[in-house]
Every structure is written in C-alpha cells, then in structure tokens.
Amino acid sequence: MTQHDWPVAIIGSGNIGTDLMIKILRSDGPLRVAAVVGVDPDSDGLARARSLGVPTTAGGVDGLLSMPQFGDIRLAFDATSAAAHRANWAALQPTGVRMLDLTPAAVGPYCVPVVNLDEHLDLGNLNMVTCGGQSTVPIVASVAAHGVVSYAEVVSAISSKSAGPGTRASIDEFIETTSAALVSVGGAQRSKTVMILNPADPPVLMRNTVYCLVDGDADHGAIRSSIADMVARVNAYVPGYRLTQGVQFETFSPENPLYIPETGKFIGIRVTVMLEVAGAGDYLPTYAGNLDIMTSAALATAEHIARQTAGATS
C-alpha cells in the first residue's frame, strides 16, 4: 500500500494525542492524520495541528461526526480519558469506524504489540493498556515463557509534568488495567501495580521496576536472554527503552522460603528487572518516555491494521 493513504482521527489533543500526531506525521507509513479532535479550542494540541495543516474540531466526537472528512476515516485513536472513551465509543461504534484506545478504559481486549499483536485484530475496539503496561507486560511475558510466574508486581514512575488531566482522571483504571494485562497478556497468575507521579524538577525519566516470582527451579540464563530479546524487540519502536542494570535473581529454597501473607510459603526465584524509558522528545522532552512507549505501540498497531486491511481488500 502507498504512504499516507489510510486516514485516521485522533480524539484528545493533550500530551498523548499531540505526541501521536507528530509521530504519524513523521512516519513514512500508511497513516494520514485526517482530523484532530479536542474540546478546548485554545489547547496547544489543536493549535499545533492547525499550524501543521491538519483539520481540527473543538467539538468533541460530535464535531468529528459532522466534519466533511469523517466519511474517509478508517480508525480513530482515543487519547482522552477512560470516562470520555466510553462515551466516544458509544458514539462511534454504530458508524463502523474502529477505535484504538490509548486510555485505560479497557472496553476492548488488550494489545501489547510485541506480545499479542495479531490477536483480536478483527475487533472494532482494541485497548493499548497503559504506559506502565506497555513497558512491563513484555518483561513478564518473557519471564513467563520460561517458568510459572505466580506473582508479578510492577512499580511505574513517571514525571508529574507528563501526566495531563486525562491521565489524572484515569488513575484507578490505570491500576486496574495494568494489573489485568499483566495476567491476561503477561501470563502471571496474580499481579499488583503501583503508580508514582514524581514531582521532581527537573523532571525524571520514566522508570519501571518489575518483580516476578517464578515457582520452583527455573533456568536463569534462559530468563536473562529472553528478557534481553524482548528489550531488543521493544527497542525496534522505542529506542530509549533499556535496562538500567543486569537482571537480578534471588532464590528461595525450602530451607529459606519467602513468606507471602496471601498465599503462604513461596519456594522459587524472584526476578527483578529495572527499566527506564527515554522518549524521542517529539512533543514533551525526552524524560517523557511514557508518552513514546504508548504512542509508538499504538502507531505500530494501527500501521499493522492498515496493512492487514489493505491486504484483505486488494
């Protein structure tokens, strides 16, 4: 298929929506930004879109429905908030325009492209989990490929400056959706998510710590190389995604078990993975890798859908 002949809309003109718009405009892939949709006519995101010649509306999803370009739109990204996504989906579902949801609303099934890109592609609503999920679910999946992960816990810290009102309105959904994806996509049996909005100034890079409890004996070398492979695969679309130190292993033997209040004695290994995510600085500066890990995953997924759709109809 040729470049830029698959029209898309971006709903939400904040941090995520604007970073995504810039990434699509810079890509030589199939997507074309046919509309950017907001609710605040004075927002920086809508002003940038206008200055780049992209059609805009400040009338929300109703404004999008009445734009002359609407009939061409093949897919709408949602970068608003979890609550707004539910209303946007109710408005768009009857039109047949598919949605790629960058909020943690989790109306549709989860998509973490390096783990399950080809699942659910025929569905009208796909959910891109969260920035924390896009950063950590691949790591849990790479550990779960070599043992039973009976528990996964992630601590995800992002700079306060990079979390817009849409993120702050969706914190409960962030926790629930990340935890659910660690199980359903990552393969853990139980999970927990902790999110930190770090107010440090100058702002800090996105940081994630992943703990996996792996039952019984497991091959440390296989887990280490599985994680390294996964980091390389995420690097293909987010070059600033990297381990901050080597993978750590701690063994709990029958003589020295770990006591877990909910489940009792644990015998196995604790795998600890520490990651940071530097962004490309397309919209916010490079500390905001949390934007890139989400928008790059969404871009990769939408480009894949566009190529699949073109292949199916050609």
CB of 270 to ligand NAD, least distance (A): 28
CB of 248 to ligand NAD, least distance (A): 27
User: Which residue in the list 21, 84, 99, 131 is annotated as catalytic?
Assistant: 131
Helices marked H in the chain = 15-26, 44-51, 60-65, 82-92, 113-116, 131-144, 165-168, 171-184, 220-235, 289-313
Would the annotation count 253 as a binding residue?
Answer: no
Would the annotation count 11 as a binding residue?
Answer: no
CB of 34 to ligand NAD, least distance (A): 16
User: Do the Cβ atoms of 274 and 245 come closer than 8 Å?
Assistant: yes
CB of 149 to ligand NAD, least distance (A): 24
245: left (phi over 0), alpha (psi -120 to 50) or beta: beta
Q: For the purposes of burial, counting CB atoms within 10 Å of the CB of 90, is it exposed (0-12), middle (13-18) or buried (19 or more)?
A: exposed
| Inter-CA distances, 76 with 9, 24, 83, 154, 231, Å | 5, 13, 16, 30, 29
How does DSSP classify residue 257?
P
Q: What is d(CA 135, CA 139) in angstroms, rounded to the nearest whole number?
A: 8
Q: What is d(CA 17, CA 238) in angstroms, rounded to the nearest whole number?
A: 17
CA 74, distance to chain mean position in Å, is 21
Tokens 């043992």 sit on residue: 147
Would the annotation count 13 as a binding residue?
Answer: yes
Pick the closer one to ligand NAD by CB: 165 or 246: 165
CB of 231 to ligand NAD, least distance (A): 19
In the numeric block, which tokens belong to residue 127?
């959910």
For residue 202, cis peptide bond before it (omega within 30 degrees of 0) = yes
What residues make contact with ligand NAD under the rule CB under 6 A? 11-17, 37-40, 43, 45, 60-61, 79-82, 84, 102-104, 130-131, 158, 162-167, 170, 174, 290-291, 294
Closest-by-Cβ residue to ligand NAD is: 14
Would the annotation count 15 as a binding residue?
Answer: yes
Query: Is 131 labeled as catalytic in the residue annotation?
Result: yes
Would the annotation count 290 as a binding residue?
Answer: yes
Pick the closer one to ligand NAD by CB: 43 or 226: 43
Binding residues for NAD(+): 13-16, 290
Binding residues: 13-16, 290
Catalytic positions, written as ranges = 131
